[in-house]
Amino acid sequence: MAFQPRSRRRTGVQLALALLIILVLGVLSLYMDTSGIQKRTAALHEEVFLASGEPDEDLGTVDHEPAELAEVAEEPRRWGAANPGQHKGAVPEAIKQRCALTLGTWCVDYLTQKGVPAVTAPRGSKTCSMNCNKASWRGFNCIHPMKRYCTHKYREWGFEVERTPPPWEYFDSMHPRTHCVGFCEETIGACYCPSNTTYGRIPAREDAPMDAPPQQHGRPMNWWCQPNNSYGGTRAFEDIFGPQGWCMAAEPVIECECNVPGWGGRFCDEPMEQFCFNSCNGRGECIQGYCKCQKGLEQERPWLAENIHTPAAQDFAHNATRKRPLIFIYELESDYGSLMMQYRHVGGPTEDCVPRRYTLPNNETKLSEWPYGLESAFLEMLMQSEHRTLDPEEADFFYVPVFTSCFIYPVRSGASSLQDWFYAPVQNRVQGAANMLLEAFHWIQSHHPWWERRGGRDHIWLVTHDEGSCWVPAAIRPSIILSHWGRMDLNHSSTTGYWEDDYRQANARKLQHAEQQQHLFEPDGFQQKIAGHACYDPVKDLVVPLIKTPNRNKHSPLFGAPTRNRTWLAFHRGRVNHEFPRYSRGVRQRVDNASREHQWLENYGSKFGDESLQGDYSELLASSIFCLVLQGDGWSARMDDAMSHGCIPVVIIDDVHVSFESVLDLSQFSLRVKSADVERLPEILQAVSQERREELQRNLARVWQRYSYSSWRPYAKRIRQLQQERGSEARQEQPLSLPETVPDLDPLLDDGFYTIMGWLYSRIDAT
């Protein structure tokens, strides 16, 4: 017995030495085994629309920074931390200028990092099984049809919505837009003229091959092109089905808008290119958001080339380097992304849910105005970025693309989506969106190991809806949440003007609009899934700018237009919503009342009003000194609008971060006013000296590009066009105000996307 303690000590020492040896060997193999990297499989590419494609050419380096930076950068560990804030020498002046007004060292660290070895991604071995297209089909080899019925109301019981033939006596609010007094194309829930009319839809024969086109395409009858003998119809019956009606005549008395992707022209009978991410890499036929394998299309359709870029799939040259962070994009089931592309047509304009689309007659690219467009645009930016990796083992971060905003609107506007994420007959849209995120989280956990490695801290989710960051489920809160809404108070409630989006149900107008429980799938409702967290954590989350097409900035001097006299002291145009006091937490209503009562326009030269306020929006912004940033249903676009026009932002949203407030020193180019002081706005703004105003304007000119996604390929092209169109005119004129015209903007430099990448680089250690 006397020897037992010594034996135990000896055994403990031996065990400790063994563990130490294993640890050392593991670290050495992690640094030295580059051959293992090349053997990793990338067999995660389950959806063709995110396929990497074939290599186009060898890349030397994708590090586009000046060579002088190499001597001041410290090499980060290949698979370890980013080592921010450590430099061997002085920071070059050019880098200081580019990082002006940033908080901390994230910008300098990002720009002065030494690239890590670029390893060619392993090639996948998967093929397109039966070369089938998943639009309207499910299962292995697309053998199970997935119907979406045309209905006029939401599900009231069971798992399918009731299909009631017209005429109907009522609708569920304004939103069920898949009602159809015609032929229902049940693959996507689209309504067409009946098959027995001259221009009706005639489907493919029952014995036709899968994906066979209809025998006759037919003219669409969208939700506002229905006869008025049934509830919700807005057109006279004769205008639709009469001898000169839309469905009967070659030259009808009315023309219904074509809202079906892939078709255009007066009568919706001219085919055109459809939108798919990265244009299917030029190797697939885009069909309603899905890519069907077909090589060589890039050569056959030259208009695709400008929207295709696949640097992550290239064969890298020897000694090539890449900049971190390296981000892997999950390829989820189609339910979370591609399916939204298939169903999006019901909302109205064909630009909903997509960042760009093609137009007739020559398939030219047209930029989308969809307000939540960063949801899809950011995915394409990331797919086309040098920061993307196809190898999850080398990834610093994992991006999870879930299209919750597209689901909320326009997809949920249709009543018949079988995969609706609700589990119970309920009309609250954010309840479905929160469940959609939660199911994507469970899918990741059950299919891949990477969430568990760091508890999700290295995962990135983007939620772009009005108060999207507030209803993110607690289960994914450890992740990085990118959003437009930086509300920081813990005990928060919804202030939206839309009862369908009230995540606390305080203003539910009917019982079915409130949260409901489903005894089997959701016995406790959904609020317990989102409770206990602030909407936004300024340490781990980031408030990012909205995406706005450069066309909205056509009169901005920062986009090449001549300067204007800034004749208006302050400006704001947007909804006021007096009938709903909680909207904007009441601030817009108070400003509107004060501006009317004290005649701000006449006495102070301040323009404030709703959509009825006259004038071109871009001109008004470019002609104002201060622009008010007021909360709306949630986030406000006014911060980004002001920055893009050189107008000093005046932020009046308490306890809420606006875009990039945690990474830029907003005090150097904007003002903050407490909501309690809004009635004193003219007094406060008039007290700002001319010297201080000019200082703010000059500083704004140093950082404004971070509020634009100018490096995205379609935007970069359009910005160059705007500068070319207005540049000569602007150079011939003397500047009338600050900031001065920017005639030679480099759209690829330090924009919103690269600001996000730089901040993410600083967060590598924290994951």
Q: What is the DSSP string of 443-500?
A: HHHHH-SHHHHHTTTTEEEEE-STTGGGS--GGGTTSEEEES-EE--SS-----S-GG
Q: Determine the length of the chain.
A: 767
Tell me if 231 is assigned to some domain.
Answer: no
Q: What number is the average pLDDT over the span 603-613? A: 95
Number of domains in the chain: 3
Which residue has better confidence, 546 or 48?
546
**Whether residue 529 sits in one domain with residue 566:** no
Question: Which of 235-249, 318-332, 585-599, 719-733 has the weakest average pLDDT?
Answer: 719-733
Q: What number is the average pLDDT over the span 579-604? A: 96
Which residue has better confidence, 513 or 767?
767
User: Who contacts 456 (Cβ-Cβ below 8 Å, separation ≥6)?
Assistant: 476, 478, 479
- Cβ–Cβ < 8 Å for 707, 668: no
Tell me if 288 is assigned to some domain.
Answer: no
**Whether residue 598 sits in one domain with residue 526:** no
Instruction: Name the pLDDT band for 347 (thresholds 50, 70, 90).
Output: low
Residue 541 has pLDDT above 80, yes or no: yes
Write b or e for each residue in 299-312: b if 16 or more Cβ atoms lie within 10 A of its Cβ, otherwise e. eeeeebeebbbbbb
Terminal-residue alpha carbon distance, the chain? 49
Tell me if 30 is assigned to some domain.
Answer: no
How far apart CA 754 and CA 311 sit, in angstroms, is: 16
Burial of 477 (0-12, 13-18, 19+ CB in 10 A): middle
Tell me if 755 is assigned to some domain.
Answer: no
Tell me if 357 is assigned to some domain.
Answer: yes
User: Who contacts 518 (Cβ-Cβ below 8 Å, separation ≥6)?
Assistant: 423, 424
Identify the domain boundary among 543, 576, 601: 543
Which residue has better confidence, 195 or 60?
195
pLDDT on residue 166: 74
Instruction: Name the pLDDT band for 729 (thresholds 50, 70, 90).
Output: confident
Residue 19 has pLDDT above 70, yes or no: no
Instruction: Name the pLDDT band for 86 (thresholds 50, 70, 90).
Output: low
572 phi/psi in degrees, rounded to 5:
-160, 135
- Sign, CA dihedral 577-579-583-587, equals positive
Structure tokens at 701: 């000119």
Q: Look at residue 305 and give its three-state secondary structure.
A: helix
**Whether residue 403 sits in one domain with residue 457:** yes
User: Who contacts 385 (Cβ-Cβ below 8 Å, separation ≥6)?
Assistant: 311, 312, 327, 753, 757
102, β-bridge pairs: 664
**Whether residue 625 sits in one domain with residue 476:** no
Our CA angle for 495, 501, 507, nearest 5°, is: 60
pLDDT on residue 517: 62
**Whether residue 558 sits in one domain with residue 521:** no
Which residue has better confidence, 15 or 755?
755
Residue 455 has pLDDT above 90, yes or no: yes
**Whether residue 521 sits in one domain with residue 454:** yes
Residue 489 φ/ψ region, left for φ over 0, alpha for ψ in the -120 to 50 degree band, beta for the rest: beta
pLDDT on residue 294: 79
Tell me if 469 is assigned to some domain.
Answer: yes
**Whether residue 572 sits in one domain with residue 511:** no
**649: CATH:** 3.40.50
Structure tokens at 766: 């924290």
**Whether residue 625 sits in one domain with residue 568:** yes
Residue 601 has pLDDT above 70, yes or no: yes
User: Who contacts 158 (Cβ-Cβ below 8 Å, separation ≥6)?
Assistant: none
**Whether residue 390 sits in one domain with residue 481:** yes
Q: Residue for token digits 């002065």?
A: 112
pLDDT on residue 172: 59
The domain containing residue 537 runs over which residues?
A: 320-543
Identify the domain boundary among 96, 114, 132: 114
Across the chain, what does the average pLDDT equal? 85
Residue 450 has pLDDT above 70, yes or no: yes
pLDDT on residue 422: 72
Instruction: Name the pLDDT band for 133 (thresholds 50, 70, 90).
Output: low
Tell me if 236 is assigned to some domain.
Answer: no
Q: Which tens digits make up the pLDDT trace of 416-426?
A: 655 667 776 67
Tell me if 93 is assigned to some domain.
Answer: yes
Q: What percent of the chain has pLDDT over 90?
A: 62
Q: Which tens digits make up the pLDDT trace of 283-300?
A: 888 988 888 887 767 778
**Whether residue 617 sits in one domain with residue 486:** no
Q: Letter for the amino acid at 118? A: A
Q: Look at residue 294 and give its three-state secondary structure.
A: coil
How far apart CA 425 and CA 423 sit, in angstroms, is: 7
Question: Which of 177-191, 387-401, 480-494 has the weakest average pLDDT?
Answer: 177-191
Which residue has better confidence, 657 or 230?
657
**Whether residue 446 sits in one domain with residue 567:** no
**Whether residue 671 sits in one domain with residue 590:** yes
Which residue has better confidence, 17 or 135?
135
